[in-house]
Amino acid sequence: MSAEEITGAEIVVRCLAEEGVEHVFGYPGGAVLYIYDAIFNQNKFQHILVRHEQAAVHAADAYSRSSKKIGVALVTSGPGVTNAVTGLATAYMDSIPMVVISGQVPSNAIGQDAFQECDTVGITRPCVKHNFLVKDVKDLATTMRKAFFIATTGRPGPVLVDIPKDISMHKCVYEYPRELEMRSYKPVDKGHSGQIRKAVQLLQQAERPMIYTGGGVILANAAPELNKLVDKLGYPCTNTLMGLGGCRASSDKYVGMPGMHGTYEANMAMQHCDVLIAIGARFDDRVIGNPKHFCSHPRKIIHIDIDPSSISKRVKVDIPIVGNVKDVLQEFLAQLDASESKTNVNALADWWKQINEWRGRECLKYLPSTEVIKPQSVVEKLWEVTKGDAFITSDVGQHQMWAAQYYPFDKPRRWMNSGGLGTMGVGLPYAMGVQMANPDATVACITGEGSIQMNIQELATCKQYHLTPKIIMLNNRFLGMVRQWQQIEYGSRYAESYMDSLPDFTKLAESYGHVGMKIEKPGDVDGAMREAFAMKDKLVFMNFITDQTENVWPMVKAGKGLTEMLLGSEDL
């Protein structure tokens, strides 16, 4: 036996080091103990012990979202990997690059209903970009290399590597492949120059142009190119929930977020434009509303996306451009610079006049109160105290929408939320992942009293690893978004949406070794917020008791079109 031979577990550790991995989020179990033993004997990366496998995958997810690094999670077989499925599905829906390593029962026990066995490959196939079951230790290094390559190229996504326990114990000569050739997987980066030329010409001829951008801009690190395009053309731009921070919110060309809870001006401009360029966005149902209504208004559509299957999937487009958003926008800008054609200045001025009239509706205006804390005001105060420069994670619900509406982002990769899957419980693990990737940054988690309890055990992880995010809980004692829909769609029949048995969150936070605050009066919001953020070395759990009756406006009801918005309770 050559001295160069090492165990499969040691191969996993070396592969992670080769990929430059600095942190692994995980939870041990029998099927991965050889791997954990190998981790114990290395010093290339740090393992973060979470308290639930779902949190491990969420933390790895946010680690990727908030940086240019790739998140890695490690879970055991059976319930370990089934607990991780929600995190995988969340990352898959939002196209987040990530590698998850799962343990499996020994090879000879697969299919025998062994203890803690499940069909990991079968269960995860619908919610990962790709998955592998390693059957021979000689294939392990190449499989790990493929996993990182697939996760980070083309349209990104999570990749799972399932490793039977005996494979992690077997030995072979270790060699990490530097070059990788995959015959069946060759993602395209560069867009077709002819198609880009057509798009440039069409966009320059537009009288009512609109730039619609999504998470693809963030994932491709294309915010500089997007902002240059917006500034150069002077066209209105909207960022989806996943694309916030792509076009800087402080730009006068930015018209807010589109869709179900988007701004009046963004939705009206989306519907009434004559040329729409979609960049790294997928015409999601929460963005365009009813497709028939959206398509009822004639317009020309340009669609730039790395994934050809996303183009014309929900809305037929006129000029498809397949390629990496950053590469395509760079050529787009070059062709614009070389073009002798000019934009229609007079028509654009008229278009902006119309958009500014829509802006005049002030759709995000709300009634302040001296009696009860308005949730919107808490988010606005958070922006003021952090100077708009924090990393913001959110859970899912009303607080998520208020965060998106009232915390304007000027930078990409500062907003972490579960957009596609809408996963409650992501906020705290997201904050953990963000802080591990950005240790010197200010991190705040905006959450609700329903969402936070789904992964509240991760307060222990924060204590162990000295993680100090500030938790901003907008506590309205309801499952807020459920209550809002029940009010609007179900005759105010609040079936199981009222939270009538809540813990004392201040004492709960303190029991984990953190600082707890309860804020009940509007006049105390500013002081409490500033006090909390002054405690840079502490996790502060801020329980804001907010208005129970407040709804998220505007709102497009299910099945309605973008222009059929409810702007407030008076429209009900």
DSSP per-residue codes, 257-303: --STT--HHHHHHHHH-SEEEEES----HHHHBSHHHHHTS--EEEE
According to the model, what pLDDT value does residue 9 have? 98
481 tagged catalytic: yes
pLDDT at 141: 97
What gap in Å lies between CA 509 and CA 277, rounded to an integer? 47
Q: Report the run of H or E that residue 474 belongs to, with start and end.
A: strand 470-475
pLDDT confidence of residue 3 = 56
Q: Express each pLDDT in 15-46 by its tens digit.
A: 999 999 999 999 999 999 999 999 999 999 99
For residue 4, what pLDDT band results from cuts at 50, 70 and 90? confident
pLDDT tens readout for residues 404-424: 999 999 999 999 999 999 999
From 18, 22, 93, 116, the catalytic residue? 116
Task: Assess whether pLDDT exceeds 60 at residue 2.
Answer: no
Q: What's the token pair of residue 330? A: 């760079």
Active site residue 116: yes
Give me the catalytic one of 98, 144, 473, 481.
Answer: 481
Nearest to 110 by CA among 159, 163, 74: 163
Which residues are within 8 A (CB) of 232 and not within 5 positions of it... i.e. 6 or more apart? Answer: 333, 336
pTM above 0.85, yes or no: yes
Residue range 343-360: average pLDDT?
96
Catalytic position from the list 5, 115, 365, 489: 115
Rounded to the nearest 10 degrees, the angle between the axes of helix 427-437 and helix 53-65 is 50
Q: Give CA angle at 361 (357, 365), nearest 5°.
A: 145
Q: What percent of the chain has pLDDT over 70?
A: 99
Q: How confident is the model at residue 1 (pLDDT cuts 50, 70, 90)?
A: very low
Beta strands in 128-174 (DSSP E): 130-133, 158-164, 171-173
Please check the confidence at residue 571 and state whether its pLDDT lies above 50. yes
pLDDT single digits (tens) 215-245: 999 999 999 999 999 999 999 999 999 999 9
Residue 300 pLDDT exceeds 90? yes
Segment 541-552 shows an average pLDDT of 97
Percent of the chain whose predicted confidence (pLDDT) is above 90: 96
Catalytic residue among 165, 374, 381, 470: 165
The mean pLDDT of the chain is 96
First vs last Cα of the chain: how many Å apart?
77
Is 53 annotated as catalytic?
Answer: yes
Catalytic annotation on 268? no
Reply yes or no on whether the pLDDT at 121 is more than 80. Answer: yes
- The 8-class DSSP code of residue 373 comes to B
Question: Which residues have a Cβ under 8 Å from the Cβ of 351 and sit 6 or more positions away?
Answer: 207, 208, 209, 236
* Whether residue 4 lies in the annotated active site: no
* CA 568 – CA 262 distance, rounded (Å): 13
The model's pLDDT over 464-502, given as tens digits with 9 standing for 90+, comes to 999 999 999 999 999 999 999 999 999 999 999 999 899
Catalytic choice (53, 225, 449, 458): 53
